[in-house]
Structure 1
Amino acid sequence: MSIVAPIAPDFVVIDVETACARVSSICQVGIVGFRGGVEVFAYETLVDPCDEFAPFNTRIHGLCADHVMNQPTFADVHATIDAHLGGRITVAHSSFDKGALAAACRVHDRHAIEATWLDSVRIAKRAWPDLPSHRLNALARFLGLKHRHHDALSDARAAGMVVVRAMDHTGIDLAGWLQPVKQSVAAPKPAPEGPLKGQRIAILGAPRHGPLAASLAAAGGRVVASVGNSTTLLVISNDQPYGRFVHASPAYKRAEELRSTGRPIEIVGENEMRRRLGA
């Protein structure tokens, strides 16, 4: 594969696998470029780590010394990796890959790769805060992605799709994800008793700290940030921005998906909910 990507991507994603506990022992690299939410190139290579393979690591990714025999070293592929990542928005799922690249550059006497780093774990936690796990394999299952865990190229591709889906779900673009997280106002604490006690409630079209949220919390409901597996109620605010196309909103579609799998989630309009609460 040529060093220069055929299409300039909006962002690239990297994943590496390591041979042992030393994070510099990179034995596989996968890089995927995305533009306009679509994959535009992929690069994958095995790497001779110039280090031992620990049984623990081999059990995780299935690679051993035989697989990397006669493969390039990190020093050999450094220029290719730098061409793909250097100066670009680079996504990795956690800080592990960034640290592994930095360590490998030091060990192999190559210059550091300068990129603008973006953590897809942080993105996933903001986009879907109610998920029980934000590990890449769990996110892939949640989003319905084809994924082979601990294969560098498959992991990079999945992490990139996490970013794409999060942008679609939240409306936050790349520039927005790169901004520091603003301190949000906490949702009101649910009352200890009330008709909504035990309910986990997402609101479409109104803030978690607004009057509607306050009414739901006062009735014992716990207001959550988004529709997730544990959500039991989606309340459609009168101020929702989708108008008659509310059924096409991500929150509504996610609630319908959960209902289709047997999850006990109810969708209720604000007026109906206020009537039930006697408000």
Structure 2
Amino acid sequence: MPDAAMPTDPLPDFVVIDVETACARASSICQVGIVGFAGGREIFAYETLLDPRDDFHFFNTQIHGIAAHHVVGQPCFADVHGVIDRHLAGRTTVAHSHFDKGALAAACRVHDRPAIETTWLDSVRVAKRAWPDLPNHKLGGLARYLGITHRHHDALSDARAAGWVVVKAIDHTGLSLADWLAPPRKAAPAPRAARSGPLAGERIVIVGEPRDGALAHRLAALGGRIMTAVGTTTTLLVIAGAADPRTVAIDPQWQKAQASGTARILTEAALLAALD
């Protein structure tokens, strides 16, 4: 696709990139696909074959169907580096796993081009958090589960599918793109349980609030021991009053408590009412 695919209006909320390689060397990019998304919809797509200036291995060609004769006369990575940079630089770039990020960096080094400065988001990590119960989070399986049209190992189709995974995860969880980009919060130590109180002996996991938050301190003051995760000794899971129901529904601790059948599940309001 020609350089005319540059987005104009609106600007993308994020872009997605996928590459295919000719051989085991990550720098041997032979196809690149980029898709831009804004407001939950696709706004542009760019795709091109590339001459990797490297060997084609049979194993790779079996996977994506691209062989040496397909790239005769096609540009090399150095020729399209500027186009890729204008799509990605300064934006949030999604890729399904870290492979594409590494391949892009390797190609920049091999072709003596500057590194592309972008903020990366791994859609595998997004999918694992949004749908933790799926048996795996490979792109093909996710596409089938979410009803996304997908042709595996075609760079443009893979990029488009990974983008829709992020769009659907945002819709499913209520978490914004900024939420997905935020580093995981490192919780402070849980408050120490009081020696006595109406919750003495309870081992409590809280959903919807950090284990060092106001609710944790209140329950610990009543004798409850605040735990990090649901386990065989957990007796109570408490859903914080401010918890978003959509977030609770995908929280792995809530799901573990439901599956175990050994821990009671109560809302904050129900628990505090029972203690009055």
TM-score by length of 2: 0.71
CA contact (8 A) 2:5 2:46 kept: no
Q: Distance in 2 between matches of 1:26 and 1:84?
A: 17
Look up the equivalent residue of 1:10 and give its one-letter code. D
Look up the match of 1:188.
Answer: 230
Look up the match of 1:152.
Answer: 155
Verify: 1:176 aligned to 2:140, yes or no. no
Q: How many residues align?
A: 216
CA contact (8 A) 1:16 1:28 kept: yes
Structure 2 unpaired stretches of 5+: 187-209, 211-226, 235-244, 271-276
Structure 1 or 2, whichever has the larger Rg, is 2
Q: Distance in 2 between matches of 1:3 and 1:81?
A: 11
CA RMSD, Structure 1 to Structure 2 (Å): 2.9
Look up the match of 1:12.
Answer: 15
Q: How does 1:29-40 map to 2 (within 5 A)?
A: 29-40=32-43
Look up the match of 1:115.
Answer: 118
CA contact (8 A) 2:132 2:252 kept: no
Q: Distance in 1 between matches of 2:57 and 2:253?
A: 50
**C-alpha deviations, 1:23-51, integer Å up to 9, x for none?**
00000000000000100000000000000
Say if 1:141 and 1:86 are closer, same or farther in 2 by CA, change over 3 A.
same
Look up the match of 2:262.
Answer: 220
Return the offset for 1:6: 2.5
Look up the equivalent residue of 1:138 and give its one-letter code. G
Q: Distance in 1 between matches of 2:135 and 2:162?
A: 18
Verify: 1:129 aligned to 2:107, yes or no. no
Q: Distance in 2 between matches of 1:9 and 1:147?
A: 21
Q: 1:106 aligns with which of 109, 114, 135?
A: 109
CA contact (8 A) 2:37 2:44 kept: yes
Look up the match of 1:55.
Answer: 58
Q: Distance in 2 between matches of 1:130 and 1:59?
A: 31
TM-score by length of 1: 0.70
**C-alpha deviations, 1:106-150, integer Å up to 9, x for none?**
111111110011100111111111111101111101101110000
Secondary structure of 1:60 counterpart: helix
Q: Distance in 2 between matches of 1:97 and 1:65?
A: 21
Verify: 1:75 aligned to 2:72, yes or no. no
CA contact (8 A) 1:61 1:151 kept: yes
Q: Distance in 2 between matches of 1:117 and 1:128?
A: 20
Verify: 1:165 aligned to 2:207, yes or no. no
Secondary structure of 1:172 counterpart: coil
**C-alpha deviations, 1:55-102, integer Å up to 9, x for none?**
110011010001111000001110100010011000000111011011
Look up the equivalent residue of 1:173 and give its one-letter code. S
Secondary structure of 1:104 counterpart: helix
Look up the equivalent residue of 2:230 and give its one-letter code. P
Return the offset for 1:181: 1.7
**C-alpha deviations, 1:200-236, integer Å up to 9, x for none?**
xxx87687768x986x577437x9xxxxxxxxxxx9x
Q: Distance in 1 between matches of 2:108 and 2:83?
A: 13
Verify: 1:142 aligned to 2:136, yes or no. no
Say if 1:209 and 1:50 are closer, same or farther in 2 by CA, change over 3 A.
closer
Q: Distance in 1 between matches of 2:16 and 2:88?
A: 8
Q: Distance in 1 between matches of 2:35 and 2:230?
A: 41
Look up the equivalent residue of 1:136 and give its one-letter code. L
Q: Distance in 1 between matches of 2:171 and 2:29?
A: 33
Q: Distance in 1 between matches of 2:8 and 2:34?
A: 13
Secondary structure of 2:62 counterpart: helix
Structure 1 unpaired stretches of 5+: 193-202, 224-234, 241-269, 271-279
Look up the equivalent residue of 2:91 and give its one-letter code. R
Say if 1:140 and 1:213 are closer, same or farther in 2 by CA, change over 3 A.
closer
Look up the equivalent residue of 1:188 and give its one-letter code. V
Q: Distance in 2 between matches of 1:219 and 1:133?
A: 25
Secondary structure of 2:54 counterpart: coil
Look up the match of 1:84.
Answer: 87
Q: Distance in 2 between matches of 1:41 and 1:239?
A: 46
CA contact (8 A) 1:105 1:112 kept: yes
Say if 1:208 and 1:31 are closer, same or farther in 2 by CA, change over 3 A.
closer
